[in-house]
Amino acid sequence: MFRLPRLVPRLRGVRYTSSTPRFPCVEAHAARQSRLASFVSSPQHPNSSPSGPEPPYARPNPTSYTVFHSSTPLPLTYHPDPLPTFDIAYETWGTLSPAKDNVILLHTGLSASSHAASTPANPTEGWWEKFIGPGKPLDTNNYFVVCTNVLGGCYGSTGPSSIEPETGVPYATRFPIISIFDMVRAQFRLLDHFGVDKLYASVGCSMGAMQSLAAGWLHPERVGKVVSISGTARSSPSSVAMRFAQRSVLMADPNWNNGFYYDALPPHTGMKLARQIATITYRSGPEWDARFGRQTRPPPSDASPDSPHVPALCPDFLIETYLDHQGEQFCLKYDANSHIYISKAMDLFDMTRPALQALRLPEAAALVEPEADASARPHSTSHSKSHPPPTNPPAHLPALAQGLAPLAQTPTLVLGVQSDILFTVEQQREVVDALRMAGNERVVYYELGGVWGHDTFLLDVLNVGGAIRGFLS
């Protein structure tokens, strides 16, 4: 509801406005809040109405994906107790070969579901529709493509919004903090279930690239090739900062209620604001200049065509209405706690040797000692005339090379985008240099131009798709 200012009982005669100032953006938000509140208090809540305004993750639709249930406890990176049971939602495209040697495990970014491409069970477009299918870069004439919703997510896999078996209510923030490695371990349980010993390739973009590297690191013998697109092997403080800003606005929403909101109004305001911030990091300034420039929203329908644009404090420029719309579209589509937990897992991702050894990861114990490594395999081994050592390496590069040692024999495609402000091109070069320094002589690296920033992997079928096709074949 529109609240009247408290100290200004009568506003007639005030110079600048004929009435109390109005804020359509604030009113629209209040209206959504009130629509949602009336739904939450209605008898249908939470899951009975198929078309209500409740978040889609609150009405799982297991007919559009398959759920793999594991009753074997999953060890966790940051918690002494394993997760006792868990579900992983997945979809597949193509046909598993009799030798089960044509599997591509596709990892998702932060908020994507397993629905990477349309299927007979769910014909809506997937998030990588143009990359998966017969003759496409992930060619389903050759490969059996598997995509899962990550552990911690809200689209069918176990996450904070899932019912905790012991209590019968959602975990909420009693869910343990998880890591990228935990997500990958859960996916390998699914591969075990399929009877797949070795992946043809592990492929991922953004957070999916972290998982892709983690898969090759955890199971060097089970991963044939690794594709890492616009990812990183060590989250930078500037990307942590952008995700921190998103978590902060979410956790400041009173509806977040320390994560216990599943029987009440979700923190839709915080989610909208978080998505606005995220969206800023997904594209680039040059793209916005080309796409929106300094154009403003269209004038109201009752305005005369000649009347000049009157600026407002609510969204005014097209870049603002775009961000507002992106936030609005997303705020009820994704679970706030999943956003918090998964973005935190991204922040925690660091494949430098000391960071890995500080974790509860048995695999890290096998990492070569720096001294032994230095004498046994000089760092310059993998550098050649065509791949010279970096001229200005970051201080952590040797530690990253030591951490990535298990990937030394795995053919790896790294692809980065120069306009990406979230996973910068410096981070892509760092992965390449560290892998080469670790002795990997089969690293392919492409750097793309263009203005699409981090989102390039969703848009540039020709260049991104072409690189993948060439590397996989």
Distance from C-alpha of 387 to C-alpha of 350, rounded to nearest angstrom? 24
Residues near 14 by Cβ (< 8 Å), separated by ≥ 6? Answer: none
- Per rule CB under 8 A, is residue 39 in the interface with its own copies? no
Instruction: Name which of residues 110 to 149 contact its own copies (CB under 8 A).
Output: none
Instruction: Name which of residues 167 to 186 contact its own copies (CB under 8 A).
Output: 167, 169-170, 172-177
**In 160-208, at which residue ranges do the beta strands (DSSP E only) sit?**
201-205
Q: b or e along 340-354 (b: 16 or more beta carbons within 10 Å of the residue's beta carbon)?
A: bbbbbbbbbbbbbbe
Residue 87: CB minimum distance to its own copies, A: 17
- Per rule CB under 8 A, is residue 447 in the interface with its own copies? no
- Per rule CB under 8 A, is residue 16 in the interface with its own copies? yes
Q: b or e along 129-158 (b: 16 or more beta carbons within 10 Å of the residue's beta carbon)?
A: bbbbbeebbbbbebbbbbbbbbbbbbbbbb
Distance from C-alpha of 381 to C-alpha of 300, rounded to nearest angstrom? 66
- Per rule CB under 8 A, is residue 293 in the interface with its own copies? yes
- Looking at 84, 298, 449, 466, which residue binds its own copies (CB under 8 A)? 84
Residues near 79 by Cβ (< 8 Å), separated by ≥ 6? Answer: 176, 177, 360
Distance from C-alpha of 81 to C-alpha of 75, rounded to nearest angstrom? 7
- Per rule CB under 8 A, is residue 14 in the interface with its own copies? yes
From the CA atom positions of the chain, what is the Rg in Å? 24
- Per rule CB under 8 A, is residue 236 in the interface with its own copies? yes
Instruction: Name which of residues 326 to 345 contact its own copies (CB under 8 A).
Output: 327, 340-341, 344
- Looking at 53, 62, 134, 285, which residue binds its own copies (CB under 8 A)? 285
Q: b or e along 265-290 (b: 16 or more beta carbons within 10 Å of the residue's beta carbon)?
A: bbbbbbbbbbbbbbbbbbbbeebbee
Is 31 or 310 the residue whose CB approaches its own copies more closely?
310
Residue 291: CB minimum distance to its own copies, A: 8
The piece of 73-81, 117-125, 208-216, 374-382 that touches its own copies (CB under 8 A) is 73-81
- Per rule CB under 8 A, is residue 262 in the interface with its own copies? yes
- Per rule CB under 8 A, is residue 300 in the interface with its own copies? no
The piece of 115-123, 137-145, 208-216, 302-310 that touches its own copies (CB under 8 A) is 302-310
Scanning the structure block, which residue is given the tokens 């609005």? 328
Number of residues that bind its own copies (CB under 8 A): 97
- Per rule CB under 8 A, is residue 34 in the interface with its own copies? no
The piece of 64-72, 163-171, 216-224, 408-416 that touches its own copies (CB under 8 A) is 163-171
Q: Which two tokens stand for residue 26?
A: 């604030």
Q: How far apart are the first and last CA of the chain?
A: 60
- Looking at 1, 6, 50, 304, which residue binds its own copies (CB under 8 A)? 6
- Per rule CB under 8 A, is residue 257 in the interface with its own copies? yes
Is 95 or 329 the residue whose CB approaches its own copies more closely?
329
- Per rule CB under 8 A, is residue 325 in the interface with its own copies? no
The piece of 92-100, 210-218, 238-246, 457-465 that touches its own copies (CB under 8 A) is 238-246
- Per rule CB under 8 A, is residue 163 in the interface with its own copies? no
Distance from C-alpha of 263 to C-alpha of 13, rounded to nearest angstrom? 47
Instruction: Name which of residues 349 to 368 contact its own copies (CB under 8 A).
Output: 350, 355, 358-359
What residues are annotated to the active site?
Answer: 206, 420, 454
CA angle 229/233/239 to nearest 5° reads 85
Kindly give the pairing relationship between strand 66-70 and strand 86-93.
antiparallel
The piece of 143-151, 305-313, 442-450, 460-468 that touches its own copies (CB under 8 A) is 305-313
CA angle 214/81/148 to nearest 5° reads 40
